Structure 1
Amino acid sequence: MAGPMLWPSGEPWPRCQLPHMVEIERPATAEDLELFRRGDEEVARLADRLSALPPEPGSRGMPAATAAQLLRMLASASANRPRTTVRTSAMAVPPKPVPMVPVVQLRAADIPHARFPEGTDLLQILWCPHWHNAVPGMDEHHRGPAPMVCWRDSTKLTHHATPPDGAGTDGRSVLSTCVISPEQITDYPDTEALPDPLQERLEDWHDSLGPDPGFDYRNDLAAAPGLKAGGWPYWPHGPRPVGCACGADRDLLLSIPNGERGTPSWTPLEDQTRAVEGGEEFHHPTGFHGARDAVHIFSCRQDPAHPVQIYVE
């Protein structure tokens, strides 16, 4: 993951020229100056309220008078600061194309259940890590990184390539380099994706197990959490449409979660103790924080070479 990729000789590293969220500096307007003034006045009023509070003997927190003094210093510094410009974020075309960053490279042997286009045995996924509001071929409500999927014949790739220096400035969507060891499992559709009659049957089945069976369908059998290729996606807000423009359905190609946390039933036996004691490094080995739950990438069931669909949950 996120490491050097097998690459065709002479093929340039891909770059993104789509509009994305960038930090810009623009001239301050009258409305901006009015907002600044109101903010300074509110800070000053808060300082006055704090300074009027009586001392609290034995309190371990910052004395109200000290907090009031600090707030007045902040308000004074803010009011005296030149305010000719404002720094903000906006959707804009980058001044120069942004290098894509590698996400994952998988061989057909790693994911034998996946459908590869004829003549290919290597899947590569890259993306522009910045936040996009519109990506050609994506859902109109897409918000997130802009993906690029490459299906290649590894026998024709002669060397490894990495992004140019300086690529990957948005830390939330830039993954940490690591090696993965795929393990094949079986999961089932998320409860929300099941027909109502089947959901009712599941509820009846779960109720028949007693008041505390120690597991439930959604958390312990459906939509396995964590980084995975294939399987079923977890839909925290209900299923999304994933049909391809050709009319065929799409299948989950890759799911990149915001962390590897899950119920103990999904944690490998050798990691059970570490799952309890582990910290950030264990629960976020990929370093990905670019979604509340996960990024799901779907490929066409009929022809995986068709454009993919991405959802940020």
Structure 2
Amino acid sequence: MQIYACDVPELPFPSTADLCQVLWCPVTHKPDHVPLLHSVWRDSRLVTNVLTEVPEPVETEEEYLPVPCVLSPERVREYPSVWVLPAGLDKQIAQWSKSSQNPENWSYHFHLSTAPGTKIGGWVDWIQDPIAMECDRGHEMSHLLTIASWEHDGESCKTWTPLEEKHRLGPYQVPELLEPANIMIGDAGSMYIFTCLKCPDRPVEAISQCS
């Protein structure tokens, strides 16, 4: 995956870089039994000899070899998961969801809070318990990117499907919308990538969770 500062200026690029490249080895690696991930911050002006033919990996596992595609970032507004809301606020949300102020019968958890799927920044859509990430210097790290097996489920697709794709929604899941990159991380899992905003070189760490 390649992310340019001109497309996503909100990304915390180091002062010397305008390109974030996220690479992974498409085979299972221990101890988490997921692809081994590596991220690089680069100055695109120094990339002069671009390969005309992309080298193929020597060894692959089909579920870890993404379908080549173009990223079209869409900015969305999301809110914290119910699991991290201040005490008492979850009860107020539950009351709102059952009131006349919610004529669409939206669920805060599925339709309004944390956007699911592959995304840059924002709140982490944890599959299991939240994990606090720290860099080697002991600084708290911030969410950089999520790479997800599924972009949504049967409920969240109603509000989180991209606007230009909503006409394709129907009574059944559409594979091209559910898994556009055709990858599967463990049991419908996600890889969460974090970076340290206090370290000038922006070190990156990744962890994964599965259902």
Per-residue displacement from partner, 1:59-105 (whole Å, max 9, x unpaired)?
xxxxxxxxxxxxxxxxxxxxxxxxxxxxxxxxxxxxxxxxxxxxx00
Tell me by how many angstroms 1:296 deviates.
1.4
Mapping 1:81-230, distance limit 5 Å? 104-134=1-31, 142-161=32-51, 164-209=55-100, 213-230=104-121
Instruction: State the aligned residue count.
Output: 203
Aligned partner letter, 2:194: F
Per-residue displacement from partner, 1:205-227 (whole Å, max 9, x unpaired)?
33445797521111112221222
Per-residue displacement from partner, 1:255-311 (whole Å, max 9, x unpaired)?
111132333111233322212277323332101112323221111132362232322
Instruction: State the distance in 2 between where 1:199 and 1:208 align.
Output: 14
Per-residue displacement from partner, 1:19-49 (whole Å, max 9, x unpaired)?
xxxxxxxxxxxxxxxxxxxxxxxxxxxxxxx
Identity of aligned residues (%): 31
Tell me by how many angstroms 1:168 deviates.
4.8
Q: Does 1:251 align with 2:142?
A: yes
TM-score of the superposed pair, with normalisation by structure 2: 0.83
Q: Unaligned 5+ residue runs, structure 1?
A: 1-103, 135-141
TM-score of the superposed pair, with normalisation by structure 1: 0.58
Aligned with 1:239 (options 95, 116, 130): 130
- Relative to 1, partners in 2 of residues 1:246 and 1:235: Cα closer, same or farther, differing over 3 Å? same
Alpha carbons 1:190, 1:223 under 8 Å: kept: yes
Alpha carbons 2:194, 2:204 under 8 Å: kept: no
RMSD in angstroms over aligned alpha carbons? 2.4
Aligned with 2:177 (options 282, 285, 299): 282
Match of 1:94 in 2: none
Q: Unaligned 5+ residue runs, structure 2?
A: none
Q: Report the structure number with the largest CA radius of gyration.
A: 1
Between structures 1 and 2, the one with greater helix share: 1
